[in-house]
Amino acid sequence: MFGLVDANNFYASCERVFRPELEGRPVVVLSNNDGCVVARSQEAKQLGLKMGVPYFQVREQFERDGGVACSSNYELYGDMSRRVMWYLQQVAPAVEVYSVDEAFLDLHGMQRHFNLAGWAGDVRGAVRQRTGIPVCVGVAPTKTLAKVANRLAKKDAIAGEGSGVLVLDDEMQRGEALKRVAVEDVWGVGRRSATKLYAVGIRTAAQLAGVGDAWARKNLGGVVGARMLHELRGFPCSSVTVEDEARKSLCCSRSFGQVLTQLEDVAGAVATHAARAGEKLREQGMAARLLTVFIETSRFANLPPPYSFSTQLTMPTATDDTLVLASWARRGLERIWRPGMRYVKAGIVLDGLERAGANQQATLFADTTRSPERAKLMSALDSLNKRYGGGAVRVGAAVTAPGKQEPWGMRRGAKSPAFTTNWGELWRVRC
């Protein structure tokens, strides 16, 4: 059996843990630049706010309804997530941290010794007590069905029924549960597949479980669709993978706080992303061989596509050196740069990741950038930035004149303090 633990309205719940005055009020959390709604409290959902809507479209009404908007505070959410996951790792035999607010648990064999519904209920209560984060738990014979169970557990909890836990362990229950889930809510069914399914009259998960394998292969993304179907029928095609297997790619990108038209401004953003990418590589002990740079114009402007311009560069050796990455990134940027356009976003993608130092291909020509001195420089860079805050030491291209705002910097009007990760911003109980 598999368990799925999923936090309720995770980001909004994190905000509430330290700001209890938000309890009972509609709360939304906004994406970077305070752009879109990315999390909603139950009250906000009930006001009809949709996931992903641009905040400026709903702001006025939302505030009139007494709603509170928070800028995203990923430091806080990341730390709260670690606390929840750490606890789950103490109680479950194996845990796959699937996302910041979700984890699959491997519960094989446990049903012989435990009443799974009771066990899951205890876990749910303990997470709430230890972290303040409300979660629901679904348990079923496959991951896809555990997702279904979790969804229904949440639905029932909202309706004031059930215990926030649902175990699907027999054929009858499974059939009934699948009837209650819309086909577009099945894990793996996105917008495109949902449209196709509706076109042939398939609206529920139960109906989906009955479609032919050949049809699924043809219309639902080949083997991916076939696997999803098997899982819905109760045959596992995926297991809990504990160790975060080496990442295959890594991406650092961000929308600018304003439209940029000058190469040097965009270059500053690109250099910042390259530096951040290097930092992530070193944290994970990885090095990258392929570097993609992309820049985008607004897809909401009344202009024809393309909106995105990118190029991939193959570096002579895999590297985790910020300065090397930044210089390749600059080269890539110049290759795709078109003057006279209004850019809104830039980013770096690193592929071809390998363990730093292991089996690295040597180059024909002397590589002056892979010296022990450079490695020392990078580790000094990392410790300074860790100690004095990110951006204390930067790549030259990412530095602006003293006192001058970074042209690419983002807007974050309503960010809560880093309650749990910054001494200066600790939660203040009494002033």
Please give the Cα distance from 43 to 67 (Å, whole number).
9
Q: Which of 46, 262, 312, 405 binds DNA (CB under 7 A)?
A: 312
- Residue from 70, 95, 211, 252 that binds DNA (CB under 7 A)? 252
Do 227 and 187 contact (CB within 8 A), yes or no?
Answer: no
Give the C-alpha separation, 390 to 384, whole Å. Answer: 8
Q: Is residue 204 a contact point for DNA (CB under 7 A)?
A: no
Binding mask 40-79 vs DNA (x if CB under 7 A, - otherwise)? Answer: ------------x-x-x-----------------------
Assess 420 for contact with DNA (CB under 7 A): no
Subset of residues 291 to 310 that bind DNA, contact rule: CB under 7 A: 298, 300, 310
Binding segment toward DNA, per CB under 7 A, in 14-22, 109-117, 249-257, 326-334? 249-257
Q: Under the criterion CB under 7 A, does residue 391 sit at the interface with DNA? A: no
**Diameter over CA atoms, the chain:** 69
Tokens of 207: 């109906």
CB atoms within 10 A of CB 307: 17
- The HSE-up count of residue 304 (CA atoms within 13 Å, CB side) is 0
Q: Which is nearer to DNA, 374 or 415 (CB)?
A: 415
Letter string b/e over residues 6-28, b meaning 16 or more CB atoms within 10 A of that residue's CB: bbbbbbbbbbbbbbeebeeebbb
Task: Draw the binding track, 349-388, toward DNA (x: CB under 7 A; -: no contact).
Answer: ---x------------------------------------
Tell me the C-alpha distance between 156 and 159, whole Å. 5
* Stretch of 110-118, 184-192, 264-272, 360-368 lying at the interface with DNA (CB under 7 A): 184-192
Structure tokens at 385: 């930035």
Q: From 113, 166, 116, select the one nearest 137 (Cα to Cα).
A: 166
What token pair was written down for 80?
Answer: 């709260």
Which residue from 254, 374, 412, 415 is in contact with DNA, where contact means CB under 7 A? 254
Amino acid of residue 372 = P
Interface with DNA includes 282 (CB under 7 A)? no
Name which position in 93, 109, 210, 222 contacts DNA (CB under 7 A): 222
Binding window for DNA (CB under 7 A); candidates: 162-170, 172-180, 250-258, 263-271: 250-258
CB of 114 to DNA, least distance (A): 26
| Least distance in angstroms from the C-beta of 31 to DNA | 3
Interface with DNA includes 314 (CB under 7 A)? Answer: yes
Binding of DNA by 102 (CB under 7 A): yes
Nearer to DNA, 98 or 215 (CB): 98
Does position 253 interact with DNA (CB under 7 A)? The reply is yes
Decide: is 331 part of the binding site for DNA (CB under 7 A).
Answer: no
Q: How far is the CB of 261 from DNA (least distance, A)?
A: 13
Could you say which of 330, 345, 370, 394 contacts DNA (CB under 7 A)? 345
Q: How far apart are the C-alpha atoms of 177 and 293, rounded to whole Å?
A: 45
CA distances to 7, 47, 207 from 155, rounded to whole Å, are 13, 17, 20
**Residue with smaller CB distance to DNA, 97 or 397:** 97
CB of 382 to DNA, least distance (A): 17
Query: Could you tell me the smallest distance in angstroms from the CB atom of residue 161 to DNA?
Result: 22
Count of residues interacting with DNA (CB under 7 A) = 51
Stretch that binds DNA, among 206-214, 254-262, 367-375, 394-402 (CB under 7 A): 254-262
Q: Rule CB under 7 A: choose which of 108, 280, 412, 415 binds DNA.
A: 280
In this structure, the strands spanning 27-30 and 68-71 are parallel
Show Cβ contacts of residue 27 under 8 Å, excluding neighbours closer than 6 positions: 12, 15, 16, 40, 41, 43, 44, 67, 68, 69, 70
Binding site for DNA (CB under 7 A): 31-33, 35-36, 38, 52, 54, 56, 98-102, 147, 186-194, 221-224, 247-255, 259, 280, 290, 298, 300, 310-312, 314, 344-345, 347, 352, 410
